[in-house]
Amino acid sequence: MKKEDSLDLCSIPTFAEMSGISVEQAIEWVDTGTIPSMRFIDYRMINLARFREDLLSGKKEFKAGDYSHA
């Protein structure tokens, strides 16, 4: 993926598909604050920019409560 193709936000189903997990698992991770998300209009979106930033800074574990919802 080229830098200009990168996404800052994605839907929960898209994140699940990209990650090889079920949509239900992705929803649970969002609901428990295990992965960064934000509300965009009426939809909860995965904050890929923050997720990517945390991974690049060395974060290796994502636990429930790591991210609070806005």
The answer to whether position 66 is within a domain reads: no
Instruction: Tell me how many domains the chain contains.
Output: 1
The answer to whether position 26 is within a domain reads: yes
pLDDT digits (tens, 9 = 90+) for 46-67: 999 999 999 999 999 999 999 9
The answer to whether position 67 is within a domain reads: no
DSSP assignment, residue 3? G
The answer to whether position 65 is within a domain reads: no
Q: How confident is the model at residue 1 (pLDDT cuts 50, 70, 90)?
A: very low
The answer to whether position 70 is within a domain reads: no
DSSP assignment, residue 67? S
* Interatomic CA distance for residues 41 and 53, integer angstroms: 24
pTM recorded for the entire structure: 0.81
The answer to whether position 51 is within a domain reads: yes
The pLDDT assigned to 50 comes to: 94
DSSP assignment, residue 1? -
Which residues form the domain of 27?
Answer: 3-56
The answer to whether position 62 is within a domain reads: no
The answer to whether position 19 is within a domain reads: yes
